[in-house]
Chain A
């Protein structure tokens, strides 16, 4: 079995009484793009900090390229680049100086090549402002510089904390293109975090959903939909329709507006119409609903919070 680029096993971390991560298992293979998704405070940054060797786990194990990132941080960072959020940068230096000087750290005095610096700046669209002091940059520009500095010299693993924060929709689109290109052209493995699923679902191969430090879901984005598609049936006599469907060994759920919900594929349109009309029920509407990933994710988070006895966001108990 090929060695994973990133691997955690029952990884836990607490800050005193607060449990930031609990038993997180993660495996990231070479060339994959994986997103850590979850609301603010779900443990994403803590996980990235452990992988960056800035924090130690309270329990469990984390490995990057097979190495403990805290005790072997230097070796890990030879092949890994991080961009933290919000981007910590030196206001008194220019973008070019950031790339040239940070890029040469730990490389025995060998500065990065001019081509690497120019290419990274060009990739994030900062070439025109490369010699301006970073103190004059907007948040979005700082975010792009954080990404650029993480590309010099070219890493094997790129870790991005909330890379889309502060970017306008066009910049988010461009970022997705840049990351795809990096994977295709350089075979880069990418781990990124986001609290907005919609911004990463089209980019990533897999995602790890965290809530209150626990893994809610791990798998491809589409996997969130598994078993979650529903048939929506609107009828003129909902109570009668429920009885009819139950007689057929089906278990319809009734939504507050009277719509009946069945698992996708339980019935075809013609079967439903024939069955209901035979019992004097008129079928008014029939369609299969595909909830968005965002809705499914929120549903899972709410369910997890209910299971833990915690109030949902915005819910007063």
Chain B
């Protein structure tokens, strides 16, 4: 019943629609960006050429990979944080959390239900975003083999090529892998939202912490800190697009991210179980 209630509340809220619309708009803008760039660089040919030797490597799969990567870094964490903020901080702010706590439902179960529903939402959002980017790539550009060159997205040190079917299978693998990465942001936001009673502050502080840590993890000066920052591991799913997947590395980074998520969720649960509803 708790899951049904959470799903109904989410379904009736504007959050899923705002997220879906924003991601669709983002994809449209990405496509427009690629298109205008190709036009400018190729003197009017609607074909993406850059400095690489293969002039026709750009296709719908390349577009999907680029779009997903930037969406993953820039937009999806915001929606993960927003959902977490809505689940706890928003209910605290509107005091509807009192309605649920006035029922024979343990705080642990309530928290785990909300976390599970948020995770399910995130899984669908990531899957939907991947599917939409692939669909848009297919319709607007057309699929083909996925060629990746050194330097781009820091994905490989040498040119690699994945046949279309293999590339699509890798996109499928990316779905749960990227969701796991974003679960850390979601968990961090859940943790902050158990402390902060206002959803705007909860989401704002979560996004701010994520951005600061992300920037820190990209600065070479802080190289020694990288293993300690969850943001250093977030884009581990890129390794899934290598010709030979380095499974040891992927599993190790996935475990690190799982550990961070577990830690954040554990702390959030501890806080939620012991806190008072003062407001």
Contact = CB atoms under 8 A, between A and B. Distances in A.
Given A56-B276, A74-B106, A93-B8, A88 B13 contact: no
Contacts of B100: 102, 105
A264 to B, nearest CB: 45
A54 interface: yes
A56 B275 CA distance: 10
Interface string B94-134: 11111111111111010000000000000000000000000
A77 B102 contact: yes
Interface string B57-100: 00000000000000000000000000000000000001111111
B104 A77 contact: yes
Nearest to B108: A74
B152 interface: no
Contacts of B102: 52, 77, 80-82, 84, 150
B12 interface: yes
A54 B1 contact: no
Nearest to B104: A106
A84 B4 contact: no
B111 to A, nearest CB: 13
Interface in A59-118: 73-75, 77-78, 80-82, 84, 88-90, 92-93, 97, 101-102, 104-107, 109, 111
Which bracket fits the contact residues of A? 20 to 34
A15 B277 CA distance: 12
B4 A101 contact: yes
Interface in B187-234: none
Contact of A89 (B99, B104, B278): B99
B1 A105 contact: yes
Chain A, interface SS category: loop
B83 to A, nearest CB: 16
Given A55-B277, A104-B1, A105-B5, A88 B103 contact: no
B116 to A, nearest CB: 15
Contact of B1 (A73, A77, A109): A109
Contacts of A81: 102
A93 B12 contact: yes
Contact of A92 (B2, B13, B103, B104): B13
A93 B9 CA distance: 7
Contacts of A53: 101
Interface in B1-57: 1-2, 4-5, 8-9, 12-13
B101 A101 contact: no
B1 A111 contact: yes
Interface of B: 1-2, 4-5, 8-9, 12-13, 94-107, 109, 276-278
